[in-house]
Amino acid sequence: MLSEAELTRCLDEAVECAMEGGMLVKECVEKVKTLTVETKSCATDLVTEYDKRVEDMIMTRLRKEFPSFKTLGEESDEKVPLTDEPTWVVDPIDGTLSFMHKSFDCCICVGLSINKKSVLGVVYAPLLDELYTAIEGKGAFCNGRKIKASSNTDLKTSLLCTHFPSYTRDPAFIDNLFAVWRDLLAHPVQGVRSYGSCALDMCSIARGRLDAYFELGIWAWDVCAAAVILTEAGGTLVDVTGGPFDLENRRLLACATPELAEQLVGYLKKLDIKGAQL
């Protein structure tokens, strides 16, 4: 495990990387009229030249400052499994589709994993000018002010969030997902939202804007930075099945309280995880 001084140095560098990445995002939103866009796994899984520029910048800085650390990035050609070694996990623009549409719900994510667990996270939402930071055991902050998840324990007074998948548009799975939401709306929950960034939704729970969020199909780079921010803010992070959260299993249920997580797991048992084609 790294010392407190080493983690502080890591956090400082991660913040600088995220802020510099945010400047590139703002530059694009303000000045660029046409983006170069490519598809990845399917027609709705997108990457722009700015995703690549931001990741190249961040990885270059991190590899120079921390040459012994491993790195894992969304746009890297080589995807390697997480190990117990200190690993920077980077999503250069979480919410690429939102970014392309100049919507607020996109962010730069820089997380540090040790023993396959998030120990440090920085999430910067440049179009909101919100900088979320956390080190394990030291609390969670937004723009330097400590944040805390809500104390809500009742689904009937909860604001929930999910994403509609980019990785599959299989009609059977879409029907299954909407069936789960139909049951939740009939519960009834107080409200439902759907934004474009996994990390930013988790940070919104960490600061009390949302009460719960679930998704299938996310990757380690989507959640590594925000995971420690959420838990340091007092939130709960588990698998959609109710088991322990795993950075690599592509499923999460993030909640303000354990009580909400327990209630939601009962509904999420209906999710067709195999049908999600993960």
The answer to whether 222 is a known catalytic residue is yes
Distance CA 19, CA 174 (A): 36
Comparing CA positions, the residue from 15, 29, 244, 263 lying closest to residue 132 is 15
Q: Which residues of 22-49 are buried (b: 16+ CB within 10 A; e: fewer)?
A: bebbeebbeeeeeeeeeeeeeeebbbbe
The answer to whether residues 256 and 208 touch, using CB atoms and an 8 Å cutoff, is yes
Based on the residue annotation, tell me whether 74 is a catalytic residue of this protein: yes
Catalytic residue among 91, 201, 211, 215: 91
Tell me if residue 96 is catalytic: yes
Is 51 considered catalytic here? no
Query: Would residue 38 show up in a list of annotated catalytic residues for this protein?
Result: no
Tokens of residue 222, six digits: 């989507």
Residue among 99, 130, 274, 114 at smallest CA distance from 197: 99
Catalytic residue among 55, 211, 222, 239: 222
Dihedral of alpha carbons 78, 82, 85, 89, sign: positive
Among candidate residues 74, 201, 211, 239, the one labeled active-site is: 74
- Give the H or E element holding residue 26: helix 4-31
Count CB neighbours of 211 within 10 A. Answer: 29
Q: Kindly name the residue from 51, 55, 94, 215 that is annotated as catalytic.
A: 94
Q: Which of 48, 87, 96, 168 is catalytic?
A: 96
> From the candidates 51, 55, 93, 257, which is the catalytic residue?
93
Indicate if 205 belongs to the active site.
Answer: no
- The residues assigned a catalytic role are 74, 91, 93-94, 96, 222
